[in-house]
């Protein structure tokens, strides 16, 4: 009898531009998102949603169990950084922050998360990235030192 492995490993990944500078330009961000989407497809991931604003992006994706979250985020950041430089899509982009946030998501509540990521522009009219990220860390019970969030 064949063995079957079944997984539903959904991650909410968040990372910002270097120094949280607002360098992701609205008119070109779809090119960045299309590039990341293709990278995820090549890695056998299922992208549920990607979006972001001037200083950070959110990715909601399923990853296969053979892939670690740290290697995936590293590949996304390195590859997309090279793409941004090569294509010159964000003129003031200096790179991505050193770290990232990765939070597991419950399949039953993924639609709420997808909608949250979809509406980033509206959300950030009321809340800064700092407050949003701090809230995510608190919601997921992650200890942190605020001086490393600025």
> How many structural domains comprise the chain?
1
In a domain, 1, yes or no: no
2 part of a folded domain: no
Residue 3 in any domain: the answer is: no
Domain that includes residue 42, residue range? 10-148
| Structural domain includes residue 138 | yes
Sheet arrangement for strand 10-16: 46-53, 56-62, 10-16, 101-105
Determine, yes or no, domain membership for 119.
yes
Question: What is the separation, in whole angstroms, between the first and last Cα of the chain?
Answer: 54
Alpha carbons 100 and 142: distance in angstroms, whole number: 13
Q: Is residue 4 part of a domain?
A: no
**CATH number of the CATH domain containing 31:** 3.30.70.1290
Per-residue pLDDT 10s for the chain (150 aa) are 567 888 899 999 999 999 999 999 999 999 999 999 999 999 999 999 999 999 999 999 999 999 999 999 999 999 999 999 999 999 999 999 999 999 999 999 999 999 999 999 998 898 999 999 999 999 999 998 888 877
Q: Which residues pair with 31 in a beta bridge?
A: none
Query: Model's pTM, two decimal places?
Result: 0.93
Measured CA to CA, the distance from residue 41 to residue 66 in angstroms comes to 14
């Amino acid at each position: 009898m064949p063995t079957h492995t079944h997984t539903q490993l959904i991650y909410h990944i968040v990372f910002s531009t270097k120094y949280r500078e607002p360098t992701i330009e609205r008119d070109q961000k779809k090119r960045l998102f299309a590039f990341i989407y293709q990278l995820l497809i090549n890695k056998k991931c299922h992208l549920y949603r990607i979006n972001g604003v001037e200083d950070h992006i959110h990715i909601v994706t399923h990853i296969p169990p053979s892939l670690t979250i740290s290697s995936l985020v590293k590949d996304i950041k390195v590859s997309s950084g090279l793409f941004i430089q090569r294509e010159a899509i964000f003129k003031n982009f200096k790179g991505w922050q050193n770290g990232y946030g990765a939070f597991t998501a419950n399949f039953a509540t993924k639609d709420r998360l997808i909608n949250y990521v979809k509406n980033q522009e509206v959300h950030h009219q009321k809340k800064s990235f700092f407050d949003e990220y701090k809230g995510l860390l608190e919601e997921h019970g992650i200890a942190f030192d605020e001086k490393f969030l600025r």
